[in-house]
Amino acid sequence: MDQLLRFQDVKLYYDHVYALKGVSLEVKEGETVALIGANGAGKSSILRAITGLQKIREGQVHFRGQRIDGTAPDEIVRMGISMVPEGRRVFPYMTVRDNLMMGAFTRGDRNEIRDSIDMVLTRFPRLKERYSQQAGTMSGGEQQMLVIGRALMSRPRLLLLDEPSLGIAPKLVQDIARSIVAINRDEGVSVLLVEQNSRMALRVSQRAYALSTGSVALSGNSAEMLTDERVRKLYLGGEL
């Protein structure tokens, strides 16, 4: 499989506190990769570094063979990386339709945008029922579907998901896990998934990196990590 994203020896800090102390990882074409780890381990910092929202201190980020660290966030979107931010961040006073249209902001082809909207509405039928409703008035689960759909509207090659299960009803977490698998399979989008719900993350992904205080502690095949004693102890403890 071809390499899509390469994150190489990246160091990053906020206010003199290191968030990433030299992290290397990669995402291959067509893969779903999970990043697991406790709060503050640096998972979200990796996504923020990829999207250009946070400048890195040292190291390099490559996407499709091109170096992208230092590139502005809006340019990164145009290159084919789309992010679903933590806490969903719908545009609360816009309708579902306008939120999806914003997702297609970098595109100009009206007819194809309409096709993409149809694709999103087929995938998430709940959004069809709420099409003209203000996004801020929807439930957390519906908003999560909306922001995933919105991120797909730019037709990304790589989809970054930051804590999609956070604050979502348990039944809907299953739905969202299933749609992540389906999107990866049907749309040809590679996925980099950040999750505190490690069990869910390991089930939907093929490979995973476990982070601990700003560096990669473990990595490998997700199915094997699910049964790994160390992973069980450190990341899956308690939740069954």
Which member of 36, 90, 161, 168 binds another protein (CB under 8 A)? 90
Beta carbons of 162 and 83 less than 8 angstroms apart: yes
Compute how many other C-beta atoms are within 10 angstroms of the C-beta atom of residue 92. 13
User: Site residues for another protein, window 121-150 (CB under 8 A)?
Assistant: 150
Q: Contact between 73 and another protein (CB under 8 A)?
A: yes
Least CB distance from residue 47 to another protein, whole Å? 10
The one segment of 85-93, 114-122, 212-220, 227-235 that binds another protein by CB under 8 A: 85-93
The smaller minimum CB distance to another protein, of residues 102 and 166, is found at 102
Least CB distance from residue 146 to another protein, whole Å? 11
The smaller minimum CB distance to another protein, of residues 110 and 171, is found at 110
User: What is the helix (H) or strand (E) element at residue 133, kind and residue range?
Assistant: none
Beta carbons of 22 and 42 less than 8 angstroms apart: no
The one segment of 27-35, 94-102, 192-200, 203-211 that binds another protein by CB under 8 A: 94-102
CA gap 2, 9 in Å, rounded: 20
Compute how many other C-beta atoms are within 10 angstroms of the C-beta atom of residue 151. 22
User: What is the helix (H) or strand (E) element at residue 145, kind and residue range?
Assistant: helix 140-152
